[in-house]
Structure 1
């Protein structure tokens, strides 16, 4: 074959291949597109930042395909289910409203769509009315997990035990997906609210093992550190030890960050034993001149000055590298030094310790380090009055 003929043949093949590719793309169903979206979101749960960056564009493309779809497409239950999956995966409600109002969807599928719309739009009563009759276990598997999660959210305010049961079901039905990751995050927080310490520790370990690299993990772990202290899920060294497997499952830098967050939250919640334990664990193996070392020393020292280990706390406060701290922790350091001086120079009477201002603690801005520290110190003085009375006068 001559060179000219070969070139023409290759050009013809390229044209045919391009035409076939275009036909294949246009032949993609809504179900195909939502499957691609769910796979993309599974990659997000696994830590794929590029997938996260393209999620909005992918959702928009699915929404456009739904709006442009021919009416006969919706005679297939697979396609109507796909429209619900799109909605429960972060899709635009207006696309589904337009679809419902078009009259193209069979009447038998309208309750599921309207119930899902009510859930996404926050109409809890309507969502409960329309979705409570659906058994997620009898739905197609791709829809089952998202539906169980949605039903759990609806049940949370009415029956927390049932809500947790549905989260377990969502995790079982959608392993390795963003649904499982979200269900784990939600269940951990619900169990923490109920002080189910062993269960929180177990689920937290599972989260760290399965989704520690998730795009959402860093934010969630910061929230969890505060919640464990504020809810009292970790309120003693004994409870802290129950989370050993969870801590071990975290990457070293993530573990150190979590422990420092827990120590700070514990200080602001009056859990001084927990703060000291968490700070000490965070300081294990840390570089002496690092930001982490400065934070760990600060939180450990603050815990100590509000316990009988006052003198060691004062010495440690003096050694904290202030320049290594951010603005909020510099304010915390200044407040802690002021409290330490106050406790030494103005000891409370053992017979009449100042009352804990619990209302102030509840209402204080958690970002106002000075106010939080002073309030907590006043609360602690009642427990440390004998120590304060015996302490020699002086200042830092």
Structure 2
């Protein structure tokens, strides 16, 4: 059944009343309207699609209310701060420009200038203006938004500082869409920094609190792609802890994630990770004819082609019906079969370099290089993105 969230209805009521009649002065206070907007956005973090669809129109109405507000209201510092929060929450920058041109916003120039520079795509100026601002010295809502911006501005130049700012966001605004956004960003940053303990903690927190978020579907896809790229994904001893993180998801989401992890690892030659992830899919899939099961069997067999189980792997591949696979996996099956028949030939001499995937000297086993074997479909990233369609089922 389609319905508007309680928060969306409340905000519509507030805005409608403000537009229809004079009403009480408090109903037109910008900071109160922004609080209502934040409540609506928090509803988005809880998975309310109607709230998400209503957000654009509500932001527009908020901007109109700001422009029509009594100029004396802006003397209140809470309302001036609300204008910046509105801006950083997706509001129209022209509204804030207009207020500023009328000299109505009594606010630290560094904060106002920095926020405007960030929204308008001037990162160097934004870093200069916001660099000295201490987010925790500000009221929580504005401080969290500023820390989120600071983190984005530092992400490429100073990962540790960027992570620290996101920690501040989470402390300032727990249980909100702002925290949800901070978690999504921080999980990837700590993964890049190879901090598995923190990655595990943050990912568990996200999946516990925000697995129904409107943005969770896209996040899960990026999460799976990233997991296979992080160096800790090469350490199979940590896989049980990764399983513990994903256990917070429903079965369908887990299967989709493990399939993405398995395929990503396979394309990158991480055979043990491929097998572990594929076997998790099989353990989560009871239906023998399930498409997910067929894909998992493909990935597992392809990964085992260059192991002592080569003969069985090739036999397993030959038993897979290509007609039951998505097009990209049917192509992968063809490439795997070709590779499987080639592996029987004598191997060229290679150095005894130890591979970090499983500690086995490379000279003792060939590497899978599907990016070369696939030839015309040497577009692994595109194929992985297409696989992400499995993640778009509606959250319950």
Distance of aligned partners of 1:280 and 1:358 in 2 relative to their CA distance in 1, 3 Å threshold: closer
Distance of aligned partners of 1:368 and 1:339 in 2 relative to their CA distance in 1, 3 Å threshold: farther
Quote the Cα distance in structure 2 between the aligned partners of 1:102 and 1:241.
59
- Contact between 1:264 and 1:275, CA under 8 Å: does it hold in 2? yes
Displacement of 1:19 in angstroms is 11
Displacement of 1:71 in angstroms is 2.7
1:152-203 Cα offsets, whole Å, 9 max, x none, are 1122233221211111110011111111111111111001111112221221
Match of residue 366 from structure 1:
380
Displacement of 1:308 in angstroms is 2.7
- Contact between 1:152 and 1:162, CA under 8 Å: does it hold in 2? yes
Quote the Cα distance in structure 1 between the aligned partners of 2:88 and 2:38.
11
Match of residue 252 from structure 1:
251
- Contact between 2:251 and 2:284, CA under 8 Å: does it hold in 1? no
Write out aligned runs for 1:167-178 (5 A): 167-178=166-177
How many residue pairs end up in the alignment? 350
1:19-70 Cα offsets, whole Å, 9 max, x none, are 9984438842221221111111111111111111111111111122223333
Quote the Cα distance in structure 1 between the aligned partners of 2:288 and 2:368.
36
Match of residue 10 from structure 1:
none
Quote the Cα distance in structure 2 between the aligned partners of 1:150 and 1:311.
54
1:341-368 Cα offsets, whole Å, 9 max, x none, are 2223x4323468899989979xx53246
Unaligned runs of 5+ in 2: 1-16, 352-362, 385-396
TM-score by length of 2: 0.81
The reply to whether residue 61 of structure 1 matches residue 75 of structure 2 is no
Write out aligned runs for 1:1-396 (5 A): 22-24=21-23, 27-106=27-106, 108-286=107-285, 287-344=287-344, 346-350=345-349, 365-367=379-381
Displacement of 1:319 in angstroms is 2.5
Quote the Cα distance in structure 1 between the aligned partners of 2:109 and 2:239.
49
Which of 1 and 2 has higher RCO (CA within 8 Å, sep 6+)?
A: 2
Helix, strand or coil at the partner of 1:333: helix
- Contact between 1:305 and 1:311, CA under 8 Å: does it hold in 2? yes
TM-score by length of 1: 0.81
Task: Out of 269-278 and 71-80, give the one that drifted further.
Answer: 71-80
- Contact between 1:100 and 1:113, CA under 8 Å: does it hold in 2? no
Helix, strand or coil at the partner of 1:122: coil
Distance of aligned partners of 1:68 and 1:197 in 2 relative to their CA distance in 1, 3 Å threshold: same
1:271-301 Cα offsets, whole Å, 9 max, x none, are 1100100000111141110111111111111
Quote the Cα distance in structure 1 between the aligned partners of 2:293 and 2:125.
52
- Contact between 2:371 and 2:380, CA under 8 Å: does it hold in 1? no
Unaligned runs of 5+ in 1: 1-17, 371-396
Quote the Cα distance in structure 1 between the aligned partners of 2:33 and 2:372.
52
Helix, strand or coil at the partner of 2:231: coil
Which has the larger Rg?
A: 1
Displacement of 1:323 in angstroms is 2.9
Match of residue 377 from structure 1:
none
- Contact between 1:80 and 1:109, CA under 8 Å: does it hold in 2? no
Quote the Cα distance in structure 2 between the aligned partners of 1:360 and 1:331.
13
Helix, strand or coil at the partner of 1:230: coil
Displacement of 1:122 in angstroms is 2.7
Quote the Cα distance in structure 2 between the aligned partners of 1:357 and 1:140.
53
Distance of aligned partners of 1:365 and 1:23 in 2 relative to their CA distance in 1, 3 Å threshold: same
- Contact between 2:269 and 2:367, CA under 8 Å: does it hold in 1? no
Displacement of 1:117 in angstroms is 1.1
Distance of aligned partners of 1:172 and 1:275 in 2 relative to their CA distance in 1, 3 Å threshold: same
Quote the Cα distance in structure 1 between the aligned partners of 2:54 and 2:19.
26
Quote the Cα distance in structure 1 between the aligned partners of 2:121 and 2:312.
52
- Contact between 1:236 and 1:273, CA under 8 Å: does it hold in 2? no
Quote the Cα distance in structure 1 between the aligned partners of 2:18 and 2:149.
41
- Contact between 2:47 and 2:213, CA under 8 Å: does it hold in 1? yes
Provide the aligned C-alpha RMSD in A.
2.8
Quote the Cα distance in structure 1 between the aligned partners of 2:282 and 2:119.
44
